[in-house]
């Protein structure tokens, strides 16, 4: 997560530095417009991403509980088949 924040901070810093250089404003204005368009799209769909995050975390916790409560054979049928194919040892 810190890598993503570092990259985003570097992009913002690069845009700010380019906006200070004379003659690059025709290059920087579309970039800033694109960044605000992306930000607007993310904020408009924030509830959907929130639901996705909630469901992902909920089902991840249910999977952990399932793995804690059930046996290895119940979770993965291939384990039972491997034990049967090995025969008595």
Q: What is the pLDDT of residues 32-76, one digit of tens each?
A: 888 889 889 988 999 998 999 999 999 999 999 999 998 888 888
Instruction: Look at the pTM and tell me if it is higher than 0.75.
Output: no
Residue recorded with tokens 């890598």: 3
Q: What local confidence, expressed as pLDDT, does residue 89 receive?
A: 56
Which domain, by its residues, includes 37? 1-44
Claim to verify: residue 28 and residue 66 sit in the same structural domain: no
Claim to verify: residue 50 and residue 29 sit in the same structural domain: no
Structure tokens at 1: 């997560």
pLDDT classification of 26: cutoffs 50, 70, 90: confident
Claim to verify: residue 1 and residue 35 sit in the same structural domain: yes
Nearest to 39 by CA among 29, 51, 31: 31
pLDDT digit string (tens) for 5-17?
999 899 889 888 8
Claim to verify: residue 26 and residue 59 sit in the same structural domain: no
Domain count for the chain: 2
């Amino acid at each position: 997560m810190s890598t993503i924040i570092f990259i985003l901070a570097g992009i913002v810093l690069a845009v700010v530095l380019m906006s200070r250089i004379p003659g690059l404003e025709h290059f920087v204005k579309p970039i800033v417009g694109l960044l605000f368009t992306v930000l607007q799209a993310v904020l408009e769909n924030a509830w959907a991403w929130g639901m996705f995050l909630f469901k992902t975390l909920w089902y991840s916790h249910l999977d952990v509980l399932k793995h804690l409560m059930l046996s290895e054979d119940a979770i993965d049928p291939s384990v039972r088949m491997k034990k049967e194919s090995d025969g008595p040892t």
